[in-house]
Structure 1
């Protein structure tokens, strides 16, 4: 063991200051019993601290304090001579104590800064979430107002789409605004599509039967209202919705025809 390096490491000063853990205190104590140099160093540090304390204390009873230290270290029957070391003086230990306090202060400041940064980050996240909620609410309100105006417009054609085949429990509604070449699809009656699948909307002419894709509903799951505005410039005679692979299909997959509705031209 390099005793000199161990002494110069500063751990003995921390031992005297009571800043070590219980395990570290025990390790230092065992080394004091094993190595006289370490024991003497601890006694020198204790003496220097006592001298510093005595210099600012009205009661000076160094001998009694040293005897208490020896008793604590179980050195009653040992002839240990305390040698004063010139390099240990009150200036040295004042600086050492200030360093310890400075270190503690730095750790506390760092902890407070981290706590403050965490609180600021949480506040920013909450603000962003609130702004998103406000924006979504605004968009939902605008959509609702638009739909209300559509429903009240006598020029809007409503086309109910009923469930087909194995999907007879599904339904949807198309509100066709011919003047603006758009439809509003209310797809609340459709279940969520399985992974890798999307709903595709079709405009149909019946004679001959010709389907024209109006596009896929890629945001079906994320849209809470399930109302979708879709461009439609076709002379539609019917509308249908099929389940297709992601990206859509060129022609409808008839075995996955979920809903179908014919436009009432009368």
Structure 2
């Protein structure tokens, strides 16, 4: 793009004057962001408009009046015959001042239009941001509603096995509950009775076979402290006989740390 040719085209003056269409304004605005030379030219045009406004000052009128007075001769004495006083036509007439007034109005109009265009762009961006935030909130609410409906269907399903997990060892004051949906091969862990894990630690859920004792990891509970209802879904394709929850290093462990076994519960025979 030939930046100098673009500047000489006169479109920037129309941009400052607010005489372009919305699409043209957007195109100029994009080029301003891309080319510092165009931005500098727009600033120069705005500065010229401000100087034009400042130039229309009452000092002009005062200088004209001084020129008029300089052409008036002193009044004649009583003994002398009256002199005819000739006034030269002032260099600046009412047309000149009308022109300056029009310039002031034009300059003020240009600045007001430019400010309105910028305000409009800001309002549009604000509205777009608010719309995006609203869409995210609606999507989050929709997801929460779907999650709630799923949990309610699980809790009310007579075929869902409920397995209470009691506190173990040094953690007797903790508890949890497993809702096992065998048809869908998944479990819902109600971990409301567990404290937030320490920094760098996570809870890990285990499916257990009792004879011989064989633990299988169902996964870790991620973002435990960020979930308000403390209900987590994990896959479980196993023929589980018991469930346990241990505290493990972030990322989980291959085998459960028995010293950190928080809760344990056996599946009752149907």
Residue 129 (structure 1) aligned with residue 133 (structure 2): yes
2: distance between equivalents of 1:263 and 1:219?
Answer: 27
1:5 is aligned to none
2:261 is aligned to 257
Q: How does 1:54-73 map to 2 (within 5 A)?
A: none
2: distance between equivalents of 1:110 and 1:192?
Answer: 55
1:80 is aligned to none
Deviations 1:34-80 (A, max 9, x none): xxxxxxxx6x67425x69xxxxxxxxxx75xxxxxxxxxxxxxxxxx
Deviation, structure 1 residue 229: 1.9
1:236 is aligned to 240
Deviates more, 1:220-229 or 1:97-106: 97-106
Q: How does 1:163-242 map to 2 (within 5 A)?
A: 163-242=167-246
TM-score by structure 2 length?
A: 0.61
TM-score by structure 1 length?
A: 0.61
Secondary structure, counterpart of 2:194 in structure 1: coil
Deviation, structure 1 residue 91: 6.8
Secondary structure, counterpart of 2:204 in structure 1: strand
Deviations 1:78-128 (A, max 9, x none): xxxxxx997x77777666555554443333333333333333333333322
2: distance between equivalents of 1:228 and 1:107?
Answer: 59
Deviation, structure 1 residue 144: 2.0
State the number of aligned residues.
Answer: 201
Deviations 1:191-235 (A, max 9, x none): 333333322211112222222111122233333332222110112
Deviation, structure 1 residue 17: 2.7
2: distance between equivalents of 1:97 and 1:244?
Answer: 81
Residue 156 (structure 1) aligned with residue 160 (structure 2): yes
2: distance between equivalents of 1:217 and 1:128?
Answer: 30
Residue 139 (structure 1) aligned with residue 139 (structure 2): no
Residue 14 (structure 1) aligned with residue 54 (structure 2): yes
Question: Structure 1: where are the runs of 5+ without partners?
Answer: 1-9, 19-41, 52-61, 64-83
Secondary structure, counterpart of 2:224 in structure 1: coil
2: distance between equivalents of 1:195 and 1:105?
Answer: 61
Deviation, structure 1 residue 176: 0.5
Note closer, same or farther for the CA distance 1:15–1:46 as it changes in structure 2 (3 Å cut).
Answer: farther
Deviation, structure 1 residue 175: 0.5
Query: 1:16–1:45: 8 Å Cα contact kept in structure 2?
Result: no
